[in-house]
Amino acid sequence: MASLDTYKRIIIKIGSALLVDADTGALRIDWLRGLAADVAELKSRGRDVLIVSSGSIALGRRVLDLPDGALNLEQSQAAAAVGQIRLAQAYAAVLGPLGIKTAQILLTLEDSADRRRYLNSRRTMTALLDLAVVPIVNENDTVATDEIRFGDNDRLAAQVAAMVEGDLLVLLSDVDGLYTGNPRVDKDARHIPRIDEITPEMEDGAGDAGTAASKGGMKTKVMAAKTAMSSGCAMVIMEGDVDRPLRALDHGGKASWFVSSNTPNAARKIWISGMKPKGFVTLDAGAVDALNSGNSLLAVGVKAIEGEFDRGDVLCIQDADGRELAKGLSGYNSTDAALIAGKQSSELTEILGYAGRGPLVHRDDMVL
């Protein structure tokens, strides 16, 4: 398949079984150093890299001397609280000497379900990537309950890929891809190197978690692929327990590639264009020209605001004659948008009482 240089923004998902030795509960530091070298190489080639990492509970349970097997919710949360520190320190320790800054981001399902929190998470991760930082993302197991859990980091990684408009998601797994059956029990199962469409048969044939340290299995990976592909992001499942796994993938290593027919930006634009607007924004002539030139919508060019909406809701943007020009995601709620309409950017902080978030609608959140 394609070289990793084909992709600009790469999300790497790492499972507990790769990071933590199943017998001792210790971090597999040599393997992690190899992955760090891969990340450094990708960064040197101008790629954005974001890591979605499991491992906090697996690390923490050994420190707390918790028993093997399933933990109750409180034990899992305690183990995550202890292990998360060690996980973050481990990534900083292997990436720091290579000149790479890291950041920790903990998410719950609510952060993707709630529109405002989704946008906040997206802007934070995008800002970190723009600053050449490698974000280390994990589910916030210390506070997440069964009702608000992603449940596995395959699903979380796909959601994160959609959030940041990633164009490649790499799932480092204990298998080298998708098969027509379970290769552990079916000797006739065939490896599928490329998937352009996920069929019901693929979903039905996917199995559950393969190791005690893992929450996910092939079923969760297929579900993750559906999410990634719908957002314009390609996805790869490959065997991760090899030295320098990303280099191996880049050199044609065995894997299954899920290929999206769209791009992240195009998929996002399609999603925005199909949403029903919650509010209407009328522009002056100067703002219309700026919009048509590919610029963001600033408050100064707004003549009128109609409707009640929250930050992140879709707005219909129109000219003075009521002709629809664009749709976009609002950077402000309707109350604040009405306060700053027609005002210069330099005035926003004084008017709102807090530092303004910039444009009323950013060009990346707009479709003409």
pLDDT at 165: 92
Distance CA 330, CA 311 (A): 5
Tokens 């959601």, located at residue: 159
Same domain, 255 and 206: yes
The DSSP call for residue 185 is T
Across the beta sheet with 366-367, the strand order is 302-306, 279-283, 314-318, 324-329, 366-367
- pLDDT tens per residue, range 339-365: 999 999 899 999 999 887 789 999 888
- pLDDT tens per residue, range 180-196: 888 888 888 899 999 99
Domain harbouring 315, CATH code:
2.30.130.10
Name the residue type at position 239. E
* CA nearest neighbour of 364 among 273, 294, 279, 281: 294
Same domain, 117 and 219: yes
Domain harbouring 137, CATH code:
3.40.1160.10
pLDDT at 149: 53
Tokens 């190197």, located at residue: 193
- pLDDT tens per residue, range 100-145: 999 999 987 777 767 778 888 888 999 999 999 999 999 887 776 5
Same domain, 105 and 183: yes
Same domain, 50 and 130: yes
Distance CA 109, CA 352 (A): 30
Count of domains forming the chain: 2
The helix/strand/coil state of 43 is helix
pTM of the model: 0.81
Q: Residue 308 sits in which domain range? A: 274-367
Taken in order 184, 186, 191, 196, the sign of the CA dihedral is negative
